[in-house]
Chains A and B, each alone.
Chain A
Amino acid sequence: ERPWVCERIMAAPPPSAPGEPAPQPPPQPLQYSLLLQYLVGDKRQPRVWDPSTFGGIPCPPKSEEQKMVERVMESCPFKAALACVGGFVLGGAFGIFTAGIDTNAGFDPKDPYRTPTAKEVLKDMGQRGISYAKNFAIVGAMFSCTECVVESYRGKSDWKNSVISGCITGGAIGFRAGLKAGVIGCGGFAAFSAAVDYYLR
């Protein structure tokens, strides 16, 4: 057990020789520099930061594995990957559904009224599904990634994050078709994500 700080500082003057009435040294003033090193300097004792000791609600401390898992789940790449997979699934379902409604499979110019075979219908559904799925996955991943990066940069979480990242995503998608399409895409996607955010909050 380390001795208390005060005793160690007060023991600074050397002990007098035994067996003779030692001249009493003048009382040393408390050396604040030594004390400060223990309070705010290099020799600080490590403290256990338990929330119940400084006025918080007592809760069991989180284990290291739990903290690591939470750190991974909140990280930007994980969120982007999750949005990518979700977008892929959703886009696939959407593509298959629209292929059932608006099909142009098996169209023969010589005989426009023949029903397409099952194989052709399935192939058309598969192609549309895959193409929609890829688009949705890319858009979702981009949006989620930009939103996470913007939120990390700003340090706040409010509605502006989704608007800014919607503008960036829409702009990037539309920019491939020219500057004007990029601006329109930015505005449209930003408005869409603002509406979704308003509904969700």
Chain B
Amino acid sequence: MTQACHRKCVPPHYKESELSKGECVCLDRCVAKYLEVHERMGKKLTELSLQDEELLKRMQQGSGTA
């Protein structure tokens, strides 16, 4: 996340040591988007793996009875 947001938001002009207001605003937005995408992907992955497990259980039960 640090590298991605640094690449997007901090242009390589090193004239002063403090982050300017535009860069701060850009970093805030970058981090917020990154974390939200992270959250949604986590939920989706959990959902997908739940489906996989259901399928696996059904297959095991099916092969057990057969």
Interface residues of A (CB under 8 A from B): 29, 31-33, 36-37, 39-41, 54-56, 74, 148, 151-152, 154-158, 161, 201
Contacts and interface: CB of A to CB of B under 8 A. Distances in A.
A37 B53 CA distance: 15
Contact of A151 (B22, B38, B49, B53): B22
Interface of B: 2, 9, 11, 15, 20-26, 29, 38-39, 41-43, 45-46, 49-50, 52-53, 56
Given A40-B42, A54-B2, A156-B11, A33 B20 contact: no
A137 B52 CA distance: 67
Given A154-B22, A155-B29, A161-B22, A36 B49 contact: yes
Given A33-B53, A40-B38, A155 B46 contact: no
Contacts of B42: 36, 39-41
A152 B22 contact: yes
Contact of B20 (A31, A39, A56, A157): A157
B10 to A, nearest CB: 10
A67 B20 CA distance: 15
